[in-house]
Structure 1
Amino acid sequence: MTAAPARFRDLIAAEWIKLWSLRSTYWVLGVGALVVIGINVNSAQSNADRLAHLPPPPDGLEPHMRFDPLHTAFVDPAWQILMVVAGSVGAIAVFGEYTSGLVRTTFTAVPDRRAVVAAKAAVMTAVMLVLGAVVAAVSFGATQAVLRDHGGLSAGDPGALRAVVASALLAPLCALVGMAVGALVRHATGTVVTTLVTLILLPALFQGETHRWVKEIGNAMPLSAWQALVENPAIGFPPDTYPVSVAEAWLVFGAWPLLAVAVTVVAVHRRDV
């Protein structure tokens, strides 16, 4: 008698158990979230203390010279930490099965590798979306509460909701990129380093303004797109050469997850364990 093929909801349940059976998942996600929120709140408190001892800004001051309360909720180093955390967890979800040998058992039980990858991606996306949403909402709410006497914003202010949504989506995006890198590299150190380089270091290498193609490559990176989406439209900045538009940034946010899942599926399907 031939066994019935595994249902997709069974694969979802299996991937959920795999993810949460590791104690490191709780620690990495929990500590990472607290660190990101802590850095943002500390930035807001530092700015509030400084602004309390400064005279009001003079009339006619250029917008980009004014204090930006939105920026305190989305400090670059803090969210880069979240990118590394999410990317690393996504990578571990793939290369961890190869290094432990669990992948042989998985593919023996479920020969449909595409379905396994789809289930893993679905679980990872759901978990990281919740993580990103919590961190983004708490960071925004807490920092703006600290800055309530210094121009703190509400969710209805221009650019605020967009920044929160983009920051929430940043976590699953990075996790899926980590999965793709894990499927390609399949080595713990190499995967983590490659994920770090892809998400954090490459955007810095393509920030030159001498050649348009250099800047355009940088604009296509998730970090650059996120920075454009969390920019406060009420503040504005001096015009940049070849800037990232909001529409282009959302396209980047949509393209990277799709490409990452496609790479993971192809890599897992074509390469033997």
Structure 2
Amino acid sequence: MTVRTVSAPKARAAGLDSPARFRHLLTAEWIKLFSLRSTYWVLGLGPLAVIGINVNSARSNAERLAQQPELPPAPPPGMPAKPEMLFDPLAAAFVDPAWQLLMIVAGSVGALAVFGEYTTGLIRTTFAAVPARRAVMSAKAIVMAAVVLVLGTAVAGASFGATQAILRDHHGMSLGDPGALRAVVASALLAPLCALVGMALGALVRHAAGTVVAVVGVLLLLPSLFLGETYRWAKEIGNAMPLTAWRALVENPARDYGAEKYPVSVTEAWTVFGAWSLVAVVVAVAVVHRRDV
């Protein structure tokens, strides 16, 4: 009688036990971001509102300028001449309320990507599947920054192109004019900066309403507390805010807006952009790594 030895079948599940590669994390974060209907609504309607506000500003200015005479009327005898209003076409493309709205939209989307997982409990499943929390948050930050950067670039380019086309008969600008390209790039980068700040606040607060309030407070309300020029330390704190830095970067260098005490330079403004983005990523990664879910 011959006894045969049957070998056990080889397990082919080794691939299932292998750790997730970083590209898999990027794909997972992409799917999670665009699996939410709110993402489409916010990223769709928000930019349209921003562009609409800028276009309406340019149209209103074009109509007003078309009704003005070529030369201002002479003042009455004995009265000093009124200073001529100097119109800035670049300001029409970057209306402050419009871009503040974009800051809220981008910051809310970034916050939603974090607190949404905590409120639904998905974060436990995510970290159970991938215990490397730093890698998960890094992938989330990369995906978020890339998506919102594309969005910000589209909004900045569309706003500048549409407004300057409307103002073509009133000294409309092109990207080759001084300060134009810088303003477009700064406005495009403002969106991912705010999204990363929103992620950091979402990791800290972990609550929907509280995080949105924190986004508005940090990005918009906090800079308004340091607008005065009485104390230099207060003005320097205000200069370190993203909104103040963005305003400095979109100013038209060909226009004289008057002397300002302790102004923020272009180099300082770019430094503020970089520092806030870096600190936001570090906070989001560090907080999620250390706190329990």
Same-fold status (TM-score > 0.5): yes
Distance of 2:70 and 2:206 partners within structure 1: 56
Cα-to-partner distance string for 1:236-272 (whole Å, 9 max, x where unaligned): 2101111110000000011101000000011000000
2:104 is matched by which residue type in structure 1? V
1:52 — aligned with what?
Answer: 66
Shift of 1:47: 0.1
Q: Deviations over 1:189-218 (max 9, x none)?
A: 110000110000001111111100001000
Within the candidate set 195, 210, 220, 2:215 is matched to 195
Q: Which residue of 2 aligns with 1:24?
A: 38
Flag the 1:266–1:62 CA change in 2: closer, same or farther, 3 A: farther
- The superposition leaves residues 97-124 of structure 1 with CA deviations (integer Å, 9 ceiling, x where unpaired) of 0000000000000000000001000000
Determine the C-alpha separation between the residues in 2 that align with 1:44 and 1:138. Answer: 13
Q: Distance in 2 between matches of 1:255 and 1:261?
A: 10
Partner AA of 2:148 in structure 1: M
The aligned counterpart of 1:102 is: 122
Match of 1:69 in 2: 89
CA contact (8 A) 1:57 1:66 kept: no
TM-score, structure 1 normalization? 0.97
The 3 A distance-change label for structure 1 pair 228 and 61 is farther
Distance 1:71 1:5 in 2: 51
Q: Does 1:139 align with 2:153?
A: no
Alpha-carbon distance change, 256 to 61 in structure 1, aligned in 2, over 3 angstroms = farther
Of 15, 19, 27, the match for 1:5: 19
List 4+ stretches of structure 1 deviating above 6 A: 60-63
Deviation of the 1:175 alpha carbon: 0.1
The equivalences for 1:243-254 within 5 A come to: 243-254=263-274
| Stretches of structure 2 lacking an aligned partner (at least 5 in a row) | 1-13, 73-80
SS at match of 1:149: helix
- CA shift digits 1:162-188 (9 cap, x unpaired): 000000000000000000000000011
Paired residue for 2:237? 217
The code of the aligned residue for 2:125 comes to T
For 1:56 and 1:184, the matched residues in 2 are separated by 57
Count of equivalent residues: 271
**Cα RMSD for the two superposed structures:** 1.4
Give the structure-2-normalised TM-score: 0.90
What amino acid sits opposite 2:49 in the alignment? V
Query: What SS class does the counterpart of residue 173 from structure 2 fall into?
Result: coil
Give the superposition deviation at 1:56: 2.8
Instruction: Work out the CA distance in 1 between the residues paired with 2:71 and 2:210.
Output: 50
Question: Secondary structure, in 3 states, of the residue corresponding to 1:189?
Answer: helix
Query: 1:40, 1:73 within 8 Å by CA — same for their partners in 2?
Result: yes
Q: Relative to 1, partners in 2 of residues 1:43 and 1:116: Cα closer, same or farther, differing over 3 Å?
A: same
Q: Give the whole-Å Cα distance in 2 for the aligned partners of 1:71 and 1:22.
A: 35
CA–CA distance in 2 between the matches of 1:57 and 1:131?
A: 42
Counterpart position of 2:78: none
Q: CA deviation at 1:62?
A: 7.3
Runs of 5+ unmatched residues, structure 1:
none
Cα distance in 2 for partners of 1:86, 1:35 equals: 13
Q: Does the C-alpha gap of structure 1 residues 81 and 262 become closer, same or farther in structure 2, counting only changes over 3 Å?
A: same
SS in 2 for 1:13: helix
Distance 1:42 1:111, change over 3 A: same
In terms of Rg, which structure is larger? 2
Give the Cα separation in 1 of the matches to 2:285 and 2:255: 42
Superposition deviation, residue 57 in structure 1 = 5.6
The Cα of 1:3 is off from its aligned counterpart by: 1.1
- Counterparts in 2 of 1:46 and 1:111: CA distance versus 1, 3 Å: same
